[in-house]
């Protein structure tokens, strides 16, 4: 059988007699799918796996604990073989063919009159894939299509529930978009973004995903940059409630995680105070992800047992002392010189390693590594700009981008402890 010989169709088996010959694990999977389709199911096999036995005891199928007989085909609309014995499967297939009954031969797809596709369902969408008789390939393709539908990479137009089936009341989803790369948003966040009627987007979120939205999706840009907040926070809060009350699915797309220095808590409180349902979708925080782009772990055995994430606009005086406590600064470029002087105290010193990662995971990513004593001059000379994450502590020495004179990449954890 060639793939071009196939005529894809879907059988409506509700209430119709169907026979499964065999009662092993494969047969059990086929039996469950046939029962889900509403078939009046009979199973013939000398022995059966426990799941078949339980379905029989529950009265959901009729199991005949014996060998197959040709008379079992009488009155059947559809037959599935899965005995594991090619001779028996072939016999059933030939006898079904003679009676003009469609039969799936699990032992030999080339001689089978019908093929069972790999199936997945999402709401009212059914995905069924044949791949030249290769079940593993069919499963892989099915999973890829299902994932694309769930995440919005593949849209389902028309009456699809992905876009048109909505609740009576609107809702708000606060989504953390991750550090900026389009593919570092969570699957849940990507799915909700594809369903949105209105997207209220920050400057540092995964902006490339906005171009993939349907034309009917309204995008409101409320992006902020240092010392420039064109849309005040109170107005953003009001926009969320206004559109949700109009019965729309609203996505607040933020960079990083909405609850890590992202004012997501304020927005959620405001919505709930005004009777609007809110879902919070965590994101990969830039504070943790961006240092990883430079090969910097925030904790490392023998070097650092903890870390603090803080905005550079806050008081740094109360931070734990020493280079063995990593400090991650967000929004720290504008105040870098003052911050470096402040952090050089309390056991760090001017020689404490510092890394600045600009546009982490973005097209313009750049890594600058130095020490507290000279990092401000370096940054000024290079024109370092936001968005950037600043990391201070001995863990910077782990980075493969660190100068060789203070890098620790080749040392063991015990050797780290000696420094």
CA 290 to chain centre: 19
Task: Judge contact between 362 and 180, C-beta under 8 A.
Answer: yes
Task: Judge contact between 311 and 330, C-beta under 8 A.
Answer: yes
As a whole number of angstroms, the distance between CA 13 and CA 79 comes to 12
Q: What 3-state DSSP class applies to 324?
A: coil
Six-digit token pair at 235? 């107005």
Of residues 206, 188, 185, 210, the one with CA closest to residue 198 = 210
As a whole number of angstroms, the distance between CA 299 and CA 393 comes to 10
32 is catalytic: no
As a whole number of angstroms, the distance between CA 351 and CA 372 comes to 6
Q: Is the peptide bond preceding residue 135 cis, with omega within 30 degrees of 0?
A: no
248 is catalytic: no
Q: How many CA atoms lie within 13 A of 67 on its CB side?
A: 4
How many other CB atoms sit within 10 Å of the CB of residue 195?
19
Of residues 117, 143, 114, the one with CA closest to residue 129 = 117
Q: What is the b/e burial string over 301-324, where b = at least 16 CB atoms within 10 angstroms of the residue's CB?
A: ebbbeebbbbebeeebeebeeebb
Q: What 3-state DSSP class applies to 220?
A: strand
DSSP 59: T
Q: Cα–Cα distances in Å, from 50 out to 24, 55, 83?
A: 9, 9, 16
Task: Judge contact between 344 and 365, C-beta under 8 A.
Answer: no
Which residue of the set 89, 202, 324, 394 is catalytic?
202
Which residue of the set 108, 155, 224, 346 is catalytic?
224
Strand ordering across the sheet containing 198-201: 218-221, 198-201, 249-254, 171-176, 277-281
Q: Which residues are catalytic?
A: 202, 224
């Amino acid at each position: 059988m060639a793939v071009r010989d196939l005529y894809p169709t879907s059988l409506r088996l509700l209430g119709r007699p169907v026979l499964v010959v065999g009662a092993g694990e494969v047969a059990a999977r086929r039996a469950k799918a046939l029962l889900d389709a509403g078939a009046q199911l009979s199973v013939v096999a000398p022995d059966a796996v426990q799941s078949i036995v339980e379905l029989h005891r529950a009265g959901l199928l009729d199991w005949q604990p014996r060998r197959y007989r040709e008379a079992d085909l009488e009155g059947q609309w559809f037959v599935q073989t899965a005995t594991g014995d090619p001779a028996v499967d072939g016999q059933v297939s030939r006898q079904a063919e003679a009676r003009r009954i469609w039969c799936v031969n699990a032992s030999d797809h080339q001689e089978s009159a019908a093929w069972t596709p790999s199936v997945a369902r999402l709401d009212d969408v059914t995905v069924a894939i044949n791949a030249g008789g290769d079940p593993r390939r069919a499963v892989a393709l099915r999973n890829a299509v299902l994932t694309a539908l769930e995440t919005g990479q593949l849209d389902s137009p028309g009456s699809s529930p992905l876009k048109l089936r909505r609740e009576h009341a609107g809702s708000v989803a606060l989504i953390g978009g991750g550090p900026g790369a389009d593919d570092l948003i969570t699957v849940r966040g990507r799915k909700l973004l594809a369903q949105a009627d209105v997207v209220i987007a920050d400057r540092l979120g995964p902006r490339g995903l906005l171009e993939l939205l349907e034309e009917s999706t309204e995008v409101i840009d409320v992006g902020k940059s240092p010392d420039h907040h064109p849309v005040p926070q109170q107005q953003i809060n009001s926009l969320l409630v206004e559109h949700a009350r109009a019965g729309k699915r609203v996505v607040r797309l933020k960079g990083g995680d909405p609850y890590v220095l992202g004012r997501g808590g304020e927005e959620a409180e405001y919505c709930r105070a005004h009777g609007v349902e809110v879902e919070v979708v965590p994101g990969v925080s830039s504070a943790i992800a961006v240092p990883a782009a430079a090969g910097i772990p925030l904790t490392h055995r023998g070097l650092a047992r903890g870390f603090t994430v803080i905005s550079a606009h806050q008081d740094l005086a109360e931070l734990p002392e020493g280079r063995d406590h990593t400090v991650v600064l967000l929004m720290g470029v504008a105040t870098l010189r003052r911050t470096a002087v402040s952090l050089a105290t309390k056991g760090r010193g001017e020689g404490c390693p510092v890394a600045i990662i600009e546009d982490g995971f973005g097209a313009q990513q750049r890594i600058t590594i130095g020490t507290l004593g000279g990092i401000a001059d370096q940054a000024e000379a290079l024109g370092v700009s936001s968005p950037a994450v600043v990391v201070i502590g001995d863990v910077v020495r782990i980075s493969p981008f660190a100068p060789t004179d203070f890098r620790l990449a080749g040392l063991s954890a015990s050797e780290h402890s000696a420094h």
